[in-house]
Amino acid sequence: MPIGDNAADALPVREVLNRLKEYIKRLPAIWVEGQLAEVKDRPGSSVIFATLRDLETDGSLSTSSVRAALKDDVQHLKDGDRVLMLLQPEIWPRRGELQMRVLAIKPVGIGELLVKLEALKQKLLAEGLFAPEAKQPIPFLPIKIGLVCGRASAALTDVLVNARNRWPTVEFEIREVAVQGVDAVKEVSAALIELEQDSKVDVIIVARGGGSLEDLLPFSDESLVRLVASLKTPIISAIGHEQDFPLLDFVADLRASTPTDAARRVVPDLEDEMDFIDDLVSQLNHQFNSILRDQRSVLIELQSNLIQLHPKTQTLMNRNLIRDFRYQMRTHVRADLSLARTELSSAAGAIRALSPQGTLERGYAVVRAASGSLITKPPVAGSKLKIKVAEGEFNATSGE
């Protein structure tokens, strides 16, 4: 369910206004034709406010113009003037008002010209000349840069100074041509063809400073646009100011808002690249040292393993094992013999104690008849007897 569809999801006013502001910021600037009313040009103010009314209905738009940005275009605005304005929609969150910021103002007489340019733009767009897939990549560091610009122009200086500030050794192949008037299309086209044939030129910048719509018309010429679309060398368009959009901007492989912007985008910054290389070298050194430490540990472990597996080491280890085993065996045998002697001595004592001789030694005697038979009960009086004691025997006669 979308946010705010029911009372439970209601948004505060500030949130709605902020969302509208973010949405409106993404809308493109558009050319609008109308009649000025309520022009408020206060002395000393940097902003001129005016209402742009529809020519046929009561509809109107509130506009604001920054005097410094539009310069002479806003000096003679008055109620009733019919104008073309390039407007960028904005919303003021504090008051919730839609305001149209004026990016450019043109006399209404050029309205038909704008219509023709828009028709040509749509025609070329339909043919695919402006398609993103038709764009060529700009080389990271061109060997040589082609530059087509006005003779002794500020655009020439801007490109050269800013590009060389970023990459001092960058080389240019420069063609100074007419950049407005009847000869502009012919001279710009000839310069592009000549630079296209130079194998050392990796990219071409077409640069011109700001000007009126009429001044920039050569860079919307259909033949020039089609020529640029056919070139194999990447083209950077740097025509006018940021709010200017000649058709060359749409067909070029890269649009720069100004000649200075083109210089900054055509070559990298040497200091940034050196910092990047320093960081990369530092990272590589760190990784190399880490790998070196790991490999050193592996080698030490392998060396230790090799020492352990060496025949001399194995022989020494086996010799030590045999020595230890012999010592243990000797110790065990001695212990076993000692125990056996003790047990044997104990057994011998027991045997001696239980033997006939042992019994005699305890004071007993063996009595036999004269015939040698053992006497186990009292004999008849006067019977001849042989009595054996521990230390000998003797004869005796039984009494009554």
Q: Are 24 and 30 in contact (CB under 8 A)?
A: no
Pick the CATH number of 124-271 from 3.30.70.260, 3.40.50.261, 3.30.460.80, 3.30.1780.10: 3.40.50.261
Look-up of token digits 């590589």: 284
Share of the chain above pLDDT 70, in %: 90
The Cα–Cα gap between 252 and 228 comes to 7
Helices (H), the chain: 13-25, 67-70, 111-126, 154-166, 184-196, 213-216, 222-230, 247-251, 259-266, 270-309, 311-354, 356-361
Instruction: Summarize pLDDT for 231-279 with one digit per residue, the tens.
Output: 999 999 999 776 768 899 999 999 998 999 999 999 998 888 888 888 8
DSSP three-state, residue 53: strand
117: buried, middle or exposed (CB in 10 Å: 19+, 13-18, 0-12)?
Answer: middle
Q: Within 13 Å and on the Cβ side, how many CA atoms surround 383?
A: 17
- Full DSSP string of 208-274: E----HHHHGGGG-HHHHHHHHH-SS-EEEEES-TT---HHHHHSSEE-SSHHHHHHHHS--HHHHH
Q: How many CB atoms lie within 10 A of CB 167?
A: 18
388: buried, middle or exposed (CB in 10 Å: 19+, 13-18, 0-12)?
Answer: middle
DSSP three-state, residue 11: coil
The pLDDT value recorded for residue 1 is 46
Architecture of the domain defined by 11-110? Beta Barrel (2.40)
Q: Are 83 and 108 in contact (CB under 8 A)?
A: yes
Q: Has this prediction a pTM greater than 0.85?
A: no
Instruction: Summarize pLDDT for 116-137 with one digit per residue, the tens.
Output: 788 899 999 999 999 999 999 9
Q: Where in the chain is the domain with CATH 2.40.50.140?
A: 11-110
Q: Where in the chain is the domain with CATH 3.40.50.261?
A: 124-271
Instruction: Summarize pLDDT for 79-96 with one digit per residue, the tens.
Output: 767 788 889 998 877 777
